[in-house]
């Protein structure tokens, strides 16, 4: 069983969230005449509650009984298939016993053949040594090669495709890019990264996600934007409205492709891609590579180079354990005991249902924890505000459904707590991947029933 211990971690200045529509801080002037770009022809959930102090500490103790914890039943009585996962897979104590040999890159960022203004932005972001996926993918993407990239979450896939594609747009003023991702949060994160890399380069983006104003997004598409970042549903919607045209888009990125298939986006994806010219440059990134993923990849890409830097399902930097609890109030009491410990300084708590996550967030706020929450019923401005509060340290507990499990890069998360068992082991892997990032240690705890 997990016993809390003193931990330390560095701090990093959080990236301030930009406005909906990407490039929001570097808004291009609208053309006075009818021109428009080849594409056309913008925050959500929880208000952050500050509450009282986090003083005190608690030590987890074994319990017994059911897993409900007073709020875990979803509407309609949907069974949680996660109950069938062997709980021994949630335990990994070997992180300090074995050290994996670090990857030795063959390049520095300064070695890549990219525009000097783009390089200045890379240096401004303090990028010096690339990660494995960046080191191996960037040179081939720069050459125009189709790439399949398979890497664990937190390995820097976003920069691996943004840097060479921005360079392409600098070299070719007509080049346009479409990036498709499964969730609003990941789209927003990629847009933030794009704004950092493209600062002052005269290249602008639009963010197409649900929960935000369609009219504002359509308005932005009529401006000179060359990078579209969005979720399949909203992208398809904008196409059907005639606001988004992809016939001059020759660069496509599918990021977190496995999650998009899991979420049932396959038909939307195929509809969208059918509107993109077949003579295109396609990049395909995923944390897993199932038969379904492989089949889709090889129907979309031409002679792709497959780059896999994934070595383990879960990071060696993450210590994993279970907390056994009974039903009723004990589960929530145990959670509060954990969150009061000083080492739990930046925590993501995962629930299963939108209603349950909202209720848990309110309960934790009433106990004095600085809590925000994200789930599917939150508007885009609410979700954006909640994420910013957590990144900026104004809240230290972030309660979420699996919408937040994929792709998000939130600095210095010390703990992930699975208040409810995830639906699948793959969901588990992506949930706990929010901690133990960038070489830091993390802890993942899963609440289970029984003695």
Nearest to 18 by CA among 9, 6, 26: 26
Q: Over range 187-206, report the average pLDDT.
A: 95
Structure confidence by residue, pLDDT tens digits, 85-141: 776 777 765 433 344 566 788 999 999 999 999 999 999 999 999 999 999 999 999
Nearest to 282 by CA among 255, 256, 319, 263: 255
Lowest average pLDDT, out of 65-69, 287-291, 349-353, goes to 65-69
- Domain parsing of the chain, residue ranges: 75-99+314-448, 104-308
Sign of CA dihedral 108, 110, 112, 118: positive
Nearest to 16 by CA among 50, 42, 43, 46: 43
How are beta strands 371-374 and 442-448 bridged, if at all? unpaired
Which CATH superfamily includes the segment(s) 75-99+314-448? P-loop containing nucleotide triphosphate hydrolases (3.40.50.300)
Spell out the residues 6+ positions from residue 229 whose beta carbon is closer than 8 angstroms to its own. 22, 179, 181, 187, 190, 191, 194, 205, 206, 207, 208
SS3 31: coil
Instruction: Say what percent of the chain tops pLDDT 70.
Output: 75
Spell out the residues 6+ positions from residue 263 whose beta carbon is closer than 8 angstroms to its own. 182
Structure confidence by residue, pLDDT tens digits, 12-44: 333 323 333 333 333 444 444 444 446 776 333
Question: Cα 395–376–53 angle (5° rounding)?
Answer: 20
Tell me: pLDDT of 171 over 80: yes
How are beta strands 177-180 and 227-230 bridged, if at all? parallel
Spell out the residues 6+ positions from residue 230 whose beta carbon is closer than 8 angstroms to its own. 179, 180, 181, 187, 206, 207, 208, 209, 238
Structure confidence by residue, pLDDT tens digits, 269-309: 999 999 999 999 999 998 777 777 788 888 889 889 999 88
Helix (H) or strand (E) holding 157: helix 157-171
pLDDT at 40: 72
Say if 75-99+314-448 and 104-308 have the same CATH topology.
yes
> Which of 1-5, 163-167, 182-186 has maximum average pLDDT?
163-167
Contact between 75 and 423 (Cβ < 8 Å): no
For the chain, the maximum distance between any two Cα atoms, rounded to a whole number of angstroms, is 71
pLDDT range class, residue 84, cuts 50, 70, 90? low
Burial of residue 333 (CB within 10 Å: 0-12, 13-18, 19+) is middle
3-state helix, strand, coil in the chain (%, to 5): 35, 15, 50
pLDDT at 288: 77
Distance CA 192, CA 197 (A): 9
pLDDT at 93: 53
Q: Over range 236-251, report the average pLDDT.
A: 96
Distance CA 322, CA 91 (A): 7
Q: Over range 183-198, report the average pLDDT.
A: 93
DSSP states of 338-397: HHTSTT--SEEEE-SSHHHHHHHHHHHHHTT--EEEE-TTS-HHHHHHHHHHHHTTS-SE
pLDDT at 294: 81
DSSP-derived secondary structure letter, 433: T
Instruction: Say what percent of the chain tops pLDDT 90.
Output: 50
> Which of 19-33, 260-274, 304-318, 420-434 has maximum average pLDDT?
260-274
Considering the chain, what is the average pLDDT of its residues? 79
Lowest average pLDDT, out of 133-137, 182-186, 377-381, 403-407, goes to 403-407
Distance CA 424, CA 309 (A): 23
Which CATH code of 3.40.50.300, 3.30.40.10, 3.40.50.20, 1.25.40.10 fits the domain covering 104-308?
A: 3.40.50.300
Q: Over range 395-414, report the average pLDDT.
A: 82
Q: Over range 47-64, report the average pLDDT.
A: 34
Q: Over range 403-408, report the average pLDDT.
A: 63
Structure confidence by residue, pLDDT tens digits, 142-165: 999 999 998 877 788 999 999 999
């Amino acid at each position: 069983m997990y016993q809390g211990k003193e931990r330390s971690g560095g701090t990093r200045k959080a990236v301030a969230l930009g406005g909906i529509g990407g490039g929001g801080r570097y808004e291009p002037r609208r053309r006075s005449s009818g021109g428009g770009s080849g594409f056309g022809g913008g925050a959500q959930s929880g208000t952050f509650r500050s509450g009282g102090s986090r003083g005190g500490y608690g030590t987890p103790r074994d319990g017994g009984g059911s897993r409900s914890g007073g709020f875990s039943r979803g509407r309609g009585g949907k069974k949680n298939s996660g109950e069938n996962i062997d709980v021994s897979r949630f335990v990994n104590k070997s992180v300090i016993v074995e050290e994996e040999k670090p990857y030795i890159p063959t390049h520095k960022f300064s070695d890549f053949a990219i525009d000097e203004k783009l390089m200045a932005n890379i240096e401004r972001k303090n990028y010096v040594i690339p990660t494995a996926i960046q080191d191996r993918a960037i040179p081939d993407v720069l050459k125009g090669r189709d790439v399949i990239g398979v890497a664990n979450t937190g390995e820097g896939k976003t920069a691996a495709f943004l840097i060479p594609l921005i360079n392409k747009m600098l070299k070719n003023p007509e080049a346009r890019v479409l990036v498709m991702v499964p969730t609003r949060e990941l789209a927003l994160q990629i847009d933030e990264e794009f704004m950092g890399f493209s600062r002052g380069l005269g290249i602008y983006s639009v963010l197409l996600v649900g929960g935000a104003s369609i009219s504002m997004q359509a308005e932005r598409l009529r401006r000179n934007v060359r990078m579209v970042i969005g979720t399949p549903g909203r992208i398809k919607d904008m196409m059907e409205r005639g606001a988004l045209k992809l016939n001059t888009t020759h660069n496509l990125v599918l990021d977190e492709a496995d999650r998009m298939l899991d979420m049932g986006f396959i038909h939307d994806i195929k509809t969208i891609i059918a509107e993109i010219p077949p003579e295109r440059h396609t990049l395909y990134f995923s944390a897993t590579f199932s038969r379904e993923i492989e089949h889709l990849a090889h129907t979309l890409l031409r002679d792709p180079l497959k780059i896999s830097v994934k070595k383990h399902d879960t990071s060696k930097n993450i210590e994993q354990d279970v907390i056994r609890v009974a039903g009723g109030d004990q589960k929530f009491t145990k959670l509060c005991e954990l969150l009061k410990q000083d080492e739990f300084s930046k925590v993501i708590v995962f629930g299963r249902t939108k209603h349950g996550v909202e209720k848990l967030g309110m309960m934790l706020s009433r106990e004095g924890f600085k809590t925000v929450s994200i789930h599917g019923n939150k508007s885009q401005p609410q979700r954006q505000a909640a994420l910013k509060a957590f990144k900026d340290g104004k809240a230290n507990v972030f309660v979420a459904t699996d919408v937040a499990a994929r792709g998000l890069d939130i600095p210095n998360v010390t703990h992930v707590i699975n208040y409810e068992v995830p639906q699948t082991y793959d969901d588990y892997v992506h949930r706990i991947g929010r901690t133990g990032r960038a070489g830091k240690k993390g802890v993942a705890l899963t609440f289970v029933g029984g003695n």
